[in-house]
Amino acid sequence: MGIFGIEIPKPRNKVSPDSAYTSIIIESSPQLHAWMIPTHLPPKGVMILFHGYTGSKSSLLDRANVFRKLGYHTFLVDSRGHGDSEGLQTTIGYYESEDVQRAYEYIKGHYQDLPISLFGTSMGAVSILKAVHDNQLQAEKLILECPFRSLSDAVYSRFENLKIPTFILPELLLFWGGIQNDMDSKAHNSLDYAKKVTIPTLVIYGKKDPKVRRQEVDDIFNALASTEKNFLLLENSGHDNLMADDALRWTKEVWAFLES
């Protein structure tokens, strides 16, 4: 299925930044690779960006460009098993949450005087939710694109999209993936994570998303413990790159959220 816990063709970075950047290696296990692309404006903070499943940091360059124009240094991270980072497996946000925590600690150690915000799409968004839940990260703001409600939802949705019967097979995949990766697949649940997130959060969803249902995102939004949360519905966007389908509105709403 290529959904988690198995070797996948490793997603690679197809392009490089078109402005000055520094390649960073975070010495951890697994080793993580990232790009630091600074803003040319007086910095308001650092935005750390996390891609989705089968993505890589190069898929985040368009969003990073917007964040830099808004005055943020950008730190684009390859999650384990993706891009230039070590590994060949993925847990769809479960252990990738540790990558979020390590990237956060790296930036916290190198930019002590700047607030840190986190952006993630799909798997990256869920990784952020779990990292904040598990490690009480003190980020300034979160921007989450199309997070799935649970790993079970993601697996069942993938089967349904491929028109494969959902009798027994998804449960077997969840069970076997859990064994392979030493994780509780059934407990990987964004609703539980959201209940401990008190950071101001913008949730973005594309109405044409074929992979994550609107109800899943609504449930996560409602579960967020934050008293400062905003929801952005993009009518013409799908799942893989919400900004590309409505760049003007995405930019306008993200800007308003960061300035609020």
Q: What angle do CA 244, 148, 176 make, to 5 degrees?
A: 125
Q: For residue 7, is it within any domain?
A: no
CB atoms within 10 A of CB 161: 10
Q: Among 59-68, 109-118, 239-248, which stretch is predicted with the lowest mean pLDDT?
A: 239-248
5: pLDDT confidence band, cut at 50, 70 and 90? very low
- Mean pLDDT over all residues of the chain? 92
Farthest CA pair distance, the chain: 55
What is the 3-state composition of the chain as percent helix, strand, coil, each rounded to the nearest 5? 40, 20, 45
pLDDT given at position 170: 74
* pLDDT tens digits, one per residue of 191-210: 999 999 999 999 999 999 99
In a domain, 17, yes or no: no
**188 domain-assigned:** yes
Per-residue confidence band for 88, with pLDDT thresholds at 50, 70 and 90: confident
Task: Give me 248's structure tokens.
Answer: 């003007």
**pLDDT at res. 56:** 97
What is the reported pTM?
Answer: 0.93
> Which residue stretches of 79-211 are H helix?
96-110, 123-135, 151-161, 169-181, 190-194
In a domain, 227, yes or no: yes
Segment 33-53 mean pLDDT: 98
* 143 located within any domain: yes
User: Does a structural domain hold residue 57?
Assistant: yes
* pLDDT value of position 185: 85
Contact, 158 vs 215, CB < 8 A? no
Is the pLDDT reported for residue 133 higher than 80?
yes
Question: Count of domains in the chain?
Answer: 1
Q: Which domain holds residue 139?
A: 22-259
Residue 55's identity, in one-letter code, is G
Mean pLDDT of 104-124: 97
| Residue 4 pLDDT exceeds 70 | no
Determine contact, residues 228/201, Cβ cutoff 8 Å. Answer: yes
Report the length, in residues, of the chain.
260
CATH number of the CATH domain containing 201: 3.40.50.1820
Q: Is residue 152 part of a domain?
A: yes
Query: Sheet harboring 32-37: ordered strands across?
Result: 22-26, 32-37, 72-77, 45-50, 116-121, 142-145, 201-206, 229-234
